[in-house]
Chain A
């Protein structure tokens, strides 16, 4: 049972959270000027890093989206912060 720190609520058990996406993607707009390839890359491309990953998570109980940095192998959590504090 992993413990994730929600920046709003504090440490909570993993089943309260949903993984949303890898961090750092910018939604390409406007639609009319976005190619199929760009759009597919935005929707689907992932790095699935082995090791340190920067990810957007959703805390279901309070509704907060936040940026979490963790190790996908050891599962250590390195950092967690509000999106507004994220310097992407």
Chain B
């Protein structure tokens, strides 16, 4: 037991509300307002966790995001959040807290025996061993021992974090004295200020150090700041971590709310002031990782806010003035305090405090916790060692925003180089630790008018620089969580891992969940000393978001389940659903696959057979309806298409391809000519945006702004495709005009004041009508059509049936039957390539040596030579004898609803000149035989199109 609860102190806790929780199974009590860290400290629990590698006992060391040791799996109401930092977790009644990375409990961990082997497990030892029997032999054991907390497989946290955007005029990060002064000055000049504070309250160090500003208690200054921010229309967010600086002045913040889901803020301020404070440096002596060794400022923080006193016999090691008030406060609270100051010239000791000048701490000793401290070779009894080793400014966001750092010799820190980022850094983050200079700098950064706020009493903050001493005996820890010692740095230096990035990667220094807050400076300065370089020569590692670990749930936001890549929905979805449709996503659209219950393949075949026998109706609304208008419309289509459209007569339709400039088939579709200067291009449903992009490219690059415009009217129309021998009868029965349209023609008409566009276009090989109706009027229209359809013996059919119909007809689906090397002549479509003399997109690429090869993969049909049903799609074609080399593959396959039997489409090397050849089909080791046939199996002469 060393920590204890002071009977009176603790301004943040409510002693009337006792909260009960458990730690590694033991019952513990705390107060409302405690953090897990302060409650455990006050309870006297010393060992809070085990280190990553050696399973050394570890206690509470720091405050806020810097805490490396006290990391827990916290369960509340049956829900566990792994790896919670105790210093950042408010205590709640009923929490079950479990230390991570312990076999058993933090107090009793049999793996602690690993520490005995530490001589043989230096930094990077795993690069030098575990090779003999292969890494896989050892890996399962290593994996089990690694890792901190556990993922709870049965809990899916909800995707309930809102993403919110805001554009404050001034963003102030950190609400300590410098941040408050900056926010106040900016707000008073009328700016909308957003003040972001990571902890639950404003004030920073003022909260536990107190102080008077402009002659009154600092809280008066705080309240005036709040009032000014509110008056100017700004906002204050506490419990909010500003965790990332991104391109073009974007910042991200994670706001924690106790009564509602967290918020993911995306802030784009006009000005940003960084007042994130500084991290207290630990000190480097043997045994500095023992439970009971703690940061001095953290001890003061836990004392004043929570009444949690670090110990009863305390050695405070330092070389700076800032620690003296800490010693005074602890002494006043009832602890016996000795300051060991490395300097010979020091302030006076606070009342009751024993001061040893010119005294360095060499070691902390004890089994499982501090029992003694060794000061200049003399051992003193102590249960607690506090360290005040100076300060490291929190400059992460300045660096994330592109800023550079300079080494400030007098302040012994890397400080932001002004003007190198869009962020202005003030206060302790800029190594201005004193209250008056922090206030003044904050005030000035906002261009505050009048005198800056002034403290009544100035605290001393100067300190003598301390560095890790690589000659010290014993094990001196730098990175507590990842178990990196000074000796590990020496090993890295000896083996040549001297660049800071190599040091980090080789030793894992600074890569733990505390992100090296207390360790990076030590590692950097130790490496500088070992290699005879200065700190700026040694350099720093790159700072990247997040500033501290941020829940993935916050970054992911609401995008989950139905809101993850939401598919597009049909206007007629309700009607399809009512008819029993089973939906699936096709090219980003949710469409009926089949109707009814039962085996999908059987249903699809049945639907397709009805369509072949009488009529089928399917929803083709996702088909693109891109209108090209203007005197140069035909010219544009000629250039962007493989087939000329300028020769198309008004009222007619023509099938065409769009190529990319590399000659690859990008999309196919039908073009309708409604008027001399008016075309409609029906792109594939998944390619609409891409086709428009290609059309716009040609239009803007080649045609200028005059003569042709492109309008996407896909969403305006719903399109129903009626197909089958009875299609015309269905139309007649529905009272719709057929206009005697021949195959590949179009008419604009209306029925009952509903405008209609009826096109005789077939994707099935049967007489078909593609009827477009304004989407808003589609429901009633479809009902009327279905009524007539069913009276004629037809039915709705889903996409799976359409796939069977089009495949047996040899109609391709771009992207399924073609791939990224398919050119139009591979589909047997050679005429434009051979005859067109004008320019068109992709033309030149059709004439490379590769494009002219006779063994290119070409689209053909395949008929199985056996009676084992349809050939498997994805199967490969191999030569009838000899080596099993792939000559192509099956792209579409299934039963042939019209022709009977089964049919497949395939891309086969030189396939068009191999008709009738029997080849082998390889699928997952199985071999079948099939005969190469024309792609079109159903109605090869095309009589049914006009049937």
Q: Is A45 an interface residue (CB 8 A)?
A: no
**Is A31 touching B839 in the complex (CB atoms < 8 A)?**
yes
CB distance from A4 to the nearest CB of B (A): 9
Partner of A18, one of B266, B662, B693, B701: B693
Complex contact A75–B693 (CB within 8 A): no
User: Is B247 in contact with A58, judged by CB distance below 8 angstroms?
Assistant: no
Would you list 15 pairs from A and B whose C-beta atoms are within 8 A, ordered by A residue?
A2-B247, A18-B693, A20-B697, A31-B839, A31-B843, A34-B844, A36-B849, A39-B844, A58-B696, A63-B692, A64-B696, A65-B701, A74-B402, A75-B248, A84-B704
Closest chain B residue to A65, Cβ basis: B700
Q: Is B125 among interface residues, defined by CB-CB distance under 8 A? A: no
A3 to chain B, nearest CB (A): 5
Contacts beyond the supplied A29-B839, A58-B697: 19 A-B pairs with Cβ under 8 Å: A1-B246, A1-B266, A2-B247, A3-B248, A20-B697, A28-B844, A30-B839, A31-B839, A31-B844, A39-B845, A39-B848, A43-B662, A58-B693, A58-B696, A63-B693, A63-B696, A64-B700, A75-B248, A84-B705
Binary per-residue interface labels of chain B (682-704) against chain A in the complex, 1 for a CB within 8 Å, 0 otherwise: 00000001001100110011001
**B374 in the interface, Cβ–Cβ < 8 Å?**
no
How far apart sit A65 and B661, CA to CA, in the bound complex (Å)?
17
Q: Mark A54-76, 1 if CB is under 8 A from B, else 0.
A: 00001010011100000000110
Looking across the interface, which residue of chain B has its beta carbon closest to that of A29?
B839
With contacts A31-B844, A43-B845 taken as known, whether A63 is within 8 angstroms of B710 at the C-beta atoms is yes
**In whole angstroms, how far apart are the Cα atoms of A74 and B420 in the complex?**
12
Closest residue to A74 on the B side, CB-wise?
Answer: B402
Query: Which residues of the other chain, A, contact B247 by a CB distance below 8 angstroms?
Result: 1-2, 75
B250 within 8 A of A: yes
Residue B130 is within 8 A (CB to CB) of chain A in the complex: no
Chain A residue total in the interface (Cβ 8 A): 22
Scoring B692, B697, B844 by chain A CB atoms within 10 A of each residue's CB, the highest score goes to B844
Q: Mark out the residues of chain B between 209 and 230 whose CB falls within 8 Å of any chain A CB in the assembled complex.
A: none
Complex CA distance for A63 and B710, rounded to whole angstroms: 9
When distances are taken between beta carbons in the complex, the residues of chain A under 8 Å from B710 are: 63
**Which residues from B are CB-within-8-Å of A83?**
700-701
Q: Is the CB of A2 within 8 A of B705?
A: no
A58 and B700 alpha carbons, distance in the complex (Å): 11
Distance in Å from the Cβ of B510 to the closest Cβ of chain A?
Answer: 26
CB proximity of A62 to chain B, nearest CB, Å: 10
Residues of A in contact with B (beta carbons under 8 Å apart): 1-3, 18, 20, 28-31, 34, 36, 39, 43, 58, 60, 63-65, 74-75, 83-84
Residues in A whose Cβ lies below 8 Å from that of B843: 31
Report chain A residues within 8 Å CB of B848: 36, 39
CA distance A24 to B18 in the complex (A): 73
- What are the residues of chain B within 8 A of A28 when measuring CB–CB? 844
Report the nearest B residue to A59, measured CB to CB. B696
Whether B847 sits at the interface, judged by CB under 8 Å, is yes
CB distance from A8 to the nearest CB of B (A): 11
Residue pair B661, A43 in contact (C-beta under 8 Å)? yes
A79 to chain B, nearest CB (A): 15
| Given A1-B247, A2-B248, A83-B700: A60 touches B689 (CB 8 Å cut-off) | yes
Cα–Cα distance between A60 and B847 once the two chains are bound (Å)? 32
CA–CA, A4 to B848, complex, Å? 38
Residues in B832-854 with C-beta less than 8 Å from chain A: 839, 843-845, 847-849
Complex: chain B residue closest to A76, CB-CB: B248
Chain A residues in 8 Å Cβ range of B697: 20, 58, 65
What is the bound-complex CA distance between A58 and B248, given in angstroms? Answer: 20
CA distance A36 to B663 in the complex (A): 13
Residue of B246, B692, B843, B848 most packed against chain A (CB within 10 A): B843
- List of A residues within 8 angstroms of B692 by Cβ: 63
Task: Give Cα A29 to B840, complex, Å.
Answer: 10
Give chain A residues whose Cβ lies under 8 Å from the Cβ of B845.
Answer: 39, 43
Chain B residues whose C-beta falls within 8 Å of the C-beta of A43 in the assembled complex = 661-662, 845
The interface residues of chain A lying within 8 Å CB-to-CB of B839 are: 29-31
Contact yes or no, A65 B847, CB < 8 A: no
Q: Name the distance in Å between A66's Cβ and chain B's nearest Cβ.
A: 9
**How distant is B285 from chain A, measured CB to nearest CB, in Å?**
44
B882-921 contacts to A, CB under 8 A, are none
Report the bound CA distance from A83 to B701 in whole Å.
8
Convert B234-251 into 0s and 1s, putting 1 for each residue whose CB lies closer than 8 angstroms to a CB of A: 000000000000111010
- Distance to closest chain A CB from B618 (angstroms): 29
A65 / chain B contacts, CB cutoff of 8 Å: 696-697, 700-701
Residues in B35-64 with C-beta less than 8 Å from chain A = none
Return chain A residues, CB-CB under 8 Å to B402: 74
How far apart are B668's CB and chain A's nearest CB, in angstroms? Answer: 22
CB proximity of B398 to chain A, nearest CB, Å: 16
Closest 3 CB pairs of A and B: A31-B844, A31-B843, A2-B247
Assembly CA distance A3 to B165 (angstroms): 14
CB distance from A58 to the nearest CB of B (A): 6
Give A20 to B660 CA distance when docked, in angstroms.
13
Interface residues in B629-673 by Cβ distance below 8 A to A read 661-662
CB of B112, distance to nearest CB on chain A (Å): 47
Q: How far is the CA of A30 from the CA of B836 in the complex (A)?
A: 12
Taking CB atoms, residues of chain A closer than 8 Å to B248 are: 1-3, 75
Question: Which residues in B have their C-beta under 8 angstroms from that of A29?
Answer: 839
Q: Which residues of B contact A64 (CB under 8 A)?
A: 696, 700
**Residues from chain B with Cβ under 8 Å of A18 in the complex:** 693
For residue A2, which residues in chain B have a CB less than 8 angstroms away from its CB? 247-248
Bound-state Cα–Cα, A58 to B690, Å: 11
Q: Give the one of B248, B662, B843 with max A CB within 10 A.
A: B248
Chain B hits for A1, CB < 8 A = 246-248, 250, 266
Smallest CB gap from A18: residue in B: B693
Query: How far is A3 from B250 in the complex, measured between Cα atoms in Å?
Result: 10
Residues of A within 8 A of B701 (CB): 65, 83
Contacts of B704 in A (CB 8 A): 84
Q: Is B693 in contact with A31, judged by CB distance below 8 angstroms? A: no
Q: How far is the CB of B918 from the nearest CB of chain A, in Å?
A: 38
